[in-house]
Amino acid sequence: MNSKQPIPFISSSSHFHFLFYALVIFLAFNNISASYSGGNETDYHALLNIRSLITKDPYGALTSWNNSLYFCDWAGITCGKRHRRVTSLRLLSQGLEGFLSPHLGNLSFLRVLVLYNNSFQGAIPHEVGRLSKLRLLSLYNNKFNAVIPVKISGCSNLEKLDLSNNELVGSIPKEISFLSKLTFLSLGSNKLTSGIPSFLGNLTLMEKFGVVNNPLGGSIPDTLGYWKNLKLFDAGILT
């Protein structure tokens, strides 16, 4: 119980061993954590999951997505300078094939998502609606072949949405009309049906709107007359 008594069994040599192992453990831990140190582990895991659902990468666009680099330095990734969260994911024209991971919704600081001209298929995950800071979502020229997720209304800061040239089915969800900052909406060349919803008239900042090449049917609703900033309207044949 006498705290002044020296601890008897630690020699200077075991001190040395202790320090040596502590250093090894420190270095090993440093290596393992290199890919997310200083950033957010959630972003790192989301990116790994996104990578895991990409089945073909013909030009090696994701070669740098490995643990020798910090994830903010991976190709196509931009992080905020201060908080080191992913703010932009841009992988365009890379011939990527596969599915878009729902873990995308965990990149909660994402402002720009650009994956146009690849071969993503399946659904645009509804978790995209968790990206409340997203301003630009560009997925044109892919093979998405499900419905437009109604949860997209959660992207309350979205300014530009381009889903043209896919195989999207179903109707244009009226939830798109909650995206009050939208200035650009392009849904051309899909398989959308059930007309242009009149609620879209609520998007009063609309500048460019395209729905050409869809079997939409119906007529152009009067409410689109609220679009005072309109510069381009491309509805093509609505039948």
Ligand X SMILES: *[C@@H]1O[C@H](CO)[C@@H](O)[C@H](O)[C@H]1NC(C)=O
Residues that bind ligand X in the complex, under the rule CB under 6 A = 27-28, 31, 40, 42, 45, 63-64, 66, 68-69, 93, 95, 102-103, 105-106, 108, 117, 127, 174, 177-178, 199, 202
DSSP 62: T
1 versus 79: smaller Cβ distance to ligand X: 79
Q: Give the closest residue to 159 by CA, choosing from 131, 184, 194.
A: 184
Residue 120 or 178: the one with the smaller Cβ distance to ligand X is 178
Task: For the CB of residue 67, give the shortest distance to ligand X in the complex, in Å.
Answer: 8
Please say whether the beta carbons of 42 and 85 come within 8 A. Answer: no
Shortest reach from residue 78's CB to ligand X, in Å: 16
Between CA 139 and CA 163 the distance in angstroms is 5
C-beta of 35 vs 190, nearer to ligand X: 35
Question: Residue 44 or 184: which CB sits closer to ligand X?
Answer: 44
Tokens 């040599």 -> residue = 13
Residues 124, 101 contacting (CB under 8 angstroms): no
Min dist CB 166 to ligand X, Å, is: 14
Phi, psi for 108 (deg, rounded to 5)? -70, -5
Tell the smallest beta-carbon distance from residue 5 to ligand X (Å).
Answer: 37
* CA–CA distance, 226 with 125 (Å, rounded to integer): 31
Of 127, 184, 191, nearest to 155 by C-alpha is 127
Alpha helices, DSSP H, located in the chain = 12-33, 41-52
* Least distance between ligand X and beta carbon 11 (Å): 26
Cβ distance to ligand X smaller for residue 5 or 84: 84
Judged by DSSP in three states, 233 sits in strand
Task: State the nearest-atom distance from the C-beta of 141 to ligand X, in Å.
Answer: 7
Output 1 or 43, the one with its CB closest to ligand X. 43
On the 0-12 / 13-18 / 19+ scale of CB atoms within 10 A, 92 is middle
β-strand pairing of 54-56 with 136-138 = unpaired
Nearest distance, CB of residue 23 and ligand X, angstroms: 9
* Residue 11 or 68 with smaller CB distance to ligand X: 68
